[in-house]
Amino acid sequence: MSASRHIAVIDIGKTNAKVALVDLATSSEVALRRIANAPVRQAPYPHHDVEALWAFILDSLAGLNHEQQIDAISITTHGATGALVDASGELVLPALDYEFDGPDRLAAEYDAVRPPFTDTGTPRLPLGLNLGAQFFWQQTSFPAEFARAAAMLMYPQYWALRLTGIAANEVTSLGCHTDLWNPWGADFSAMVDRLGWRELMAPVRPARDRLGPILPALAARTGLDPRTSVFCGLHDSNASLLPHLLSDTPPFSVVSTGTWVVSMAVGGKPVGLDPTRDTLVNVNALGDPVPSARFMGGREFSLLTEGQTENWTEGDANAVLSRKTLLLPSTQQGSGPFPHHTASWRDADGINSGKRFAAVSFYLALMTATCLDLIGADGPTIVEGPFARNRLFVGMLAAATGRAVVASEAATGTSIGAALLASDQVAADGKGERTEPPTDGIWGDYVGAWRAAVEAA
């Protein structure tokens, strides 16, 4: 694997899909293709537009390979998504959009068969956020189509199947609040056997397994070398975590930011996880359980700043801090550490767009700090993804945790981590700017005011 240098990473997020070319020699993205990723809201239910994504993937691979020969392909995607395919690899039902509420209609029936949190580390989540609930709803609602399924696949491995013809599964996606995996037993959950799904589950393979070369027809379509390797792939938050697992000394935490803000603690303090507050046990790329917590921070940021400028001044930030203009949770309800709280503003009359941006950034940092507290995080916090470029977020996160925050330099931490699957190197070069907790007491006062207001609510 050491000969592979330029890795094309297929990185499918809930909001955007990307294909990045990563240079492993410099641990950097050297080229990027991106499109918006929106579900198809048509019968039989809202679903992912896999054919549009497939055309984008192939066009991107062809374009990137024209600029620089691609040595290998890796894959990372959002969680809570799977595929039911027949013996020829075709979908028997569309890949369900996890924000569809159909699975909630069978909530009582599903709750009767799902395993307890103590067995899986999976909290009970609404909509289709538990992948097991999706499959259960599809089996019940579309029995004829479900009966044609030859394999159940996690989302990264669905794309790997299309690229190689090889069906596989992998633990980071299986262990991502699915109800399908027991992270301590390293095996499928009792529910999988109870519902007769084990025989449908494609073989579990390590994330860094080479599944095979790209299919000949795809090599011809894209211009890639027919020997181009395709690696099994992994869940996106765990892709962000992987470089640090390989190079950093615990304790530390990684905060992966995108549509979801996912906090993962490595070597932290022992705590009892609270499944009612969207804490869970993820499974990292090495197969180990990782205490985690999440909220839909990227979605909240988009909603809260839509149509607003992101320009701000130090004066704006200081005014928000001194006036204690607070945004309280939660803009997106149903998940996160305060799933049943209704968002509200305090002392926000007449604020301009710069002050609003500062207050929103502080809110997101304080929500993230709450998540880190819930999972016993300790040591420095590494922030990956878009929020790493937000100085207000980073500063408030350091203030609220009382620990250093490292803002990753990578444009997309998921892409670097996924590319490492195709490498034998043990660490990613470069970290990012380190921010220590502010010494100015005005930051601590703001943290205290926010927490007191949340507690009072």
Verify that 129 and 278 share a domain, yes or no.
no
Stronger pLDDT, 246 or 436, i.e. the higher one? 436
Verify that 289 and 375 share a domain, yes or no.
yes
Mean pLDDT of the chain: 95
Verify that 112 and 246 share a domain, yes or no.
no
* 26-63 residue pLDDT tens: 888 999 999 999 999 999 999 999 999 999 999 999 99
In a domain, 277, yes or no: yes
Residue 2 has pLDDT above 50, yes or no: no
Question: Is this prediction's pTM over 0.85?
Answer: yes
Residue 1 has pLDDT above 50, yes or no: no
Domain that holds residue 20: 6-232
Residue 429 has pLDDT above 60, yes or no: no
* pLDDT value for 425: 67
* pLDDT value for 426: 58
Least confident among 66-80, 90-104, 397-411: 397-411
Verify that 426 and 442 share a domain, yes or no.
yes
Q: Work out the percent of the chain whose per-residue pLDDT is above 90.
A: 90
Residue 109 has pLDDT above 90, yes or no: yes
* pLDDT value for 428: 52
* 355-406 residue pLDDT tens: 999 999 999 999 999 999 999 999 999 999 899 999 999 999 999 999 999 9
Boundary of a domain, candidates 232, 267, 285: 232
Verify that 353 and 287 share a domain, yes or no.
yes
Verify that 173 and 25 share a domain, yes or no.
yes
Mean pLDDT, residues 334-347 taken together: 94
Verify that 135 and 162 share a domain, yes or no.
yes
Distance CA 35, CA 409 (A): 22
In a domain, 1, yes or no: no
Residue 319 has pLDDT above 80, yes or no: yes
In a domain, 188, yes or no: yes
Per the structure, the count of domains in the chain is 2
Bridge-based pairing state of the strands 261-266 and 252-257: antiparallel
Least confident among 152-161, 175-184, 234-243, 417-426: 417-426
Verify that 359 and 417 share a domain, yes or no.
yes
* pLDDT value for 27: 86
In a domain, 341, yes or no: yes
Verify that 69 and 163 share a domain, yes or no.
yes
Q: How confident is the model at residue 441 (pLDDT cuts 50, 70, 90)?
A: very high
Verify that 190 and 249 share a domain, yes or no.
no
Half-sphere exposure in the Cβ direction for 285 (13 Å, CA): 27
- The CATH number linked to 225 is 3.30.420.40
In a domain, 319, yes or no: yes
* 257-307 residue pLDDT tens: 989 999 999 999 999 999 999 999 999 999 999 999 999 999 999 999 988
Boundary of a domain, candidates 232, 262, 293: 232
Q: How confident is the model at residue 223 (pLDDT cuts 50, 70, 90)?
A: very high
Residue 437 has pLDDT above 90, yes or no: yes
Verify that 253 and 171 share a domain, yes or no.
no
Verify that 209 and 265 share a domain, yes or no.
no
Boundary of a domain, candidates 217, 232, 247: 232
